Amino acid sequence: MIWNALLLALREIRRNLMRSFLTILGIVIGVSAVITMVTLGNGATRAVSDQIASLGSNLLIIRPGQHLGPGRDSAGAAAFKVADVEALKTQVSGLAAVVPVTNKSVTLVAMARNWSTGVTGTTSDWFATGKWQIASGRIFNEAEERAGAAACVIGETIRRELFGSQDPLGQQIRVKQFSCEVIGLLASKGQSTMGNDQDDLLVMPLRTVQRRLTGSIDVASLMISVRDDASMDIAKDQVSWLMRERRHIGAGDNDDFSVMDTRQIAETLSGTTKVMTGLLGAVAAVSLLVGGIGIMNIMLVSVTERTREIGIRLAIGALEREVLLQFLIEAVALASLGGIIGILLATLASIGGAALMHVPYLFNPAINLLSFGFSAAIGVVFGYVPARRAARLDPIEALRHA
Amino acid sequence: MSEPLIALSGVTRTFGTGAAAFQALRGVDLTIEEGEFVAIMGPSGSGKSSMMNILGCLDTPSGGSYRFRGLRVEDLNRDQRALLRRHALGFVFQGFNLLARTSAQENVELPLLYRGETVEARHDAARAALAAVGLEGWGHHSPAELSGGQQQRVAIARALVTNPSLLLADEPTGNLDTERSREIIDLLVALNRDKGITVVMVTHESDMAAYARRIVRLVDGKVESDIRNAAPAGVVPGAH
Ligand SMILES: Nc1ncnc2c1ncn2[C@@H]1O[C@H](COP(=O)(O)OP(=O)(O)OP(=O)(O)O)[C@@H](O)[C@H]1O
Ligand SMILES: [Mg+2]
């Protein structure tokens, strides 16, 4: 019986191929949107955590204010000073490096071209701590750091945008009122973390940035690498304790800075991408529901259109539930077909999208199964009303229908 | 003596309620035995179709009783009446009522599908039924590709493929010219004579009714006359 109904349903779908296709378009789009969003979202999450993890597990990052990520609450919290760096280096044991970082957005000019980017002011330890390699030239030395020399190391993107095919080493770049000499070129890290270009940066000694660009002795954040033989937890506690003391925070008061290790940062960032994934997935799920309404609409039209056919079937001796089943199966078959096409489309879109976004393509069986099951369920839910209407028709009335 | 195939007693059928109520049947008494060929005649609006719908278990009487082989049809529920139609009744309508865009073969197989018969059984029975109505080899044609007479013969094949006890035909030749009409009537006569299928046929044309062995006239929802035809047209040698 079910088999027969399925054959009937498939025959009916084939008979109205164009209409069937339009009917399931909503489901196709819904399913492929849900799966693509979730798959790419998962890929992005993975990419973020992979990238952070690549910095190593022994990194601590200290920022003023309490939260990392969107809505960071740093208002009112004082910035760090170079003295904090010295204090951490001397008073906390087990630290391999303490790196101050200050950023400033600027427009660079060189060879009659310009480029907007962020300048990073820091110390030479920054390169090793951030796992940067030098492609050519050198990094600045201690003398240049102390003197606040106008020397800079540039990322691959800046080389490409300002110097094109020419060798950047020894060239001058204008940064606001002064020129700095390019002494080194960083090896490319490529694009990642939700489309950030990691190579779009220019690194200078901290003192140079403070004197010539920010005009203050503030340090925006501190990067600390903990020695492999030391405990992360202990280092973290000691850092917090020292910073509380230096920032005069009372015993009952909350920290006005945050110390995070790489694992926490990865979690926070991937938490954000997970929320985004969830939201996009939910929006896509709504479109799936809309697709279901499309199926109900067409099925209702179909029942009206096929009233005479239903009358014939009833007159011949079809039971109410057999007619119900026929239309229900037709709706479910349509919706499932939409689900299958949606899955195929989503697979293509996810692979393509993952390549474009530079995130890994992670096949997620759960979301594929779930979407398919959901689309079939939509067929049942939205097919039921039209199917019942068909089954309840009065055979005589139905036969009289034009 | 066994129960008659059909026994209507005091059957009424009222459409609508209150002031708008209209009584299409006003107490019909009619008994039809197994193997009869009955023509129902009467002016338009006299209740012929209403009675056929009741005979075909598509509708139930408002009053009175309808026994099919002694079974009280008015006591059956919707599904039970559907099963009775499926197993004992065959319908032929004025408008053919074939499934469009569906081959003749598939149309004829439809009642067997609902009976749950196997694919081979369906194929064989449908082919035999099409052959019996003279449409051998026309199985793959859709209704749109067939003439009116051929469509009606497909409809008859569909009605008889289940070997029904009773074949109900409401103006089966109403849409056909005289030549096609005669073919259809000959077919019904042959089915009645050779297979013993009871045939009840509504017709407006007295030369068609002449083929029946019994002619029932309805007027204003009542049986006005019930005449036995000693020499029906179909059995005259050489009539077809
Ligand atoms: N569903 C219905 N609702 C209301 N009135 C109806 C309904 N069906 C039939 N009637 C009325 O019942 C009367 C008998 O109708 P019926 O169709 O049985 O006549 P008939 O003898 O078959 O006529 P015809 O020869 O024109 O087919 C008509 O007056 C018709 O208007
Ligand atoms: Mg009529």
The Cα B99–Cα B92 span in angstroms is 13
* A386, A303 contact by CB (below 8 A): yes
**Chosen from A316, A388, A401 to mutate, greatest number of chain B CBs within 10 A:** A316
Ligand 1 pocket test: pick from B17, B22, B23, B93 the residue with the most ligand atoms within 8 Å of its Cβ. Answer: B22
3-class secondary-structure state, position B237: coil
**Cα B49 to ligand 2 centre (Å):** 4
ipTM of the complex model: 0.91
Contact B86 A314 (CB under 8 A): no
Model pLDDT, residue A146: 87
Model pLDDT, residue B227: 92
Model pLDDT, residue B240: 44
Burial class (CB in 10 A: 0-12, 13-18, 19+), B21: exposed
Place of tokens 């109520």: B21
pLDDT tens digits, one per residue of B137-187: 999 999 999 998 999 999 999 998 998 999 999 999 888 888 888 988 999
Does residue B15's CB lie within 6 angstroms of at least one atom of ligand 1?
yes
Q: Residues of A320-341 as b/e, b for ≥16 C-beta within 10 angstroms?
A: bebbbbbbbbbbbbbbbbbbbb
Task: Please state, for a pLDDT cut of 90, what percent of chain B lies above it.
Answer: 73
Average pLDDT over residues B227-232: 84
* A62, A212 contact by CB (below 8 A): no
Residue B83 φ/ψ region, left for φ over 0, alpha for ψ in the -120 to 50 degree band, beta for the rest: alpha
A392 contacts in chain B (CB < 8 Å): none
Model pLDDT, residue A218: 86
Q: Which of residues 233-262 of A touch B (CB under 8 A)?
A: none
**Cα A181 to ligand 1 centre (Å):** 102
B58 contacts in chain A (CB < 8 Å): 315, 395-396
Residue B104 has pLDDT above 60, yes or no: yes
The neighbourhood of ligand 2, an ion, using CB within 5 A, equals B 49
The Cα B131–Cα B127 span in angstroms is 6
Residue A256 CB coordination number (10 Å):
18
Specify the amino acid at residue A128: A
Average pLDDT over residues B22-39: 95
Looking at residue B143, what DSSP letter applies?
G
B86 contacts in chain A (CB < 8 Å): 316-318
Per-10-residue mean pLDDT, chain A, length 402:
76 84 88 89 81 76 69 64 85 85 87 86 87 87 86 89 86 87 86 69 89 86 86 85 84 80 77 82 83 86 89 92 90 91 94 87 89 90 91 91 75
Nearest-CB residue to B53 (from A15, A321, A396):
A396
Residue A7 or residue B92, greater confidence: B92
pLDDT tens digits, one per residue of B182-215: 988 999 999 999 999 999 999 999 988 999 999 9
Model pLDDT, residue B200: 96
Q: Which residue does chain A place closest to B80, by CA atoms? A: A319
Average pLDDT over residues B116-121: 90
A17 touches B: beta carbon within 8 Å: no
3-class secondary-structure state, position B112: helix
A321 contacts in chain B (CB < 8 Å): 79
Model pLDDT, residue A1: 66
Cα angle value A209/A212/A217 (rounded, 5°):
60
Residue A402, min C-alpha distance to chain B (Å): 10
Residue B47: phi, psi to the nearest 5? 105, 15
Q: Is the pTM of this model over 0.80?
A: no
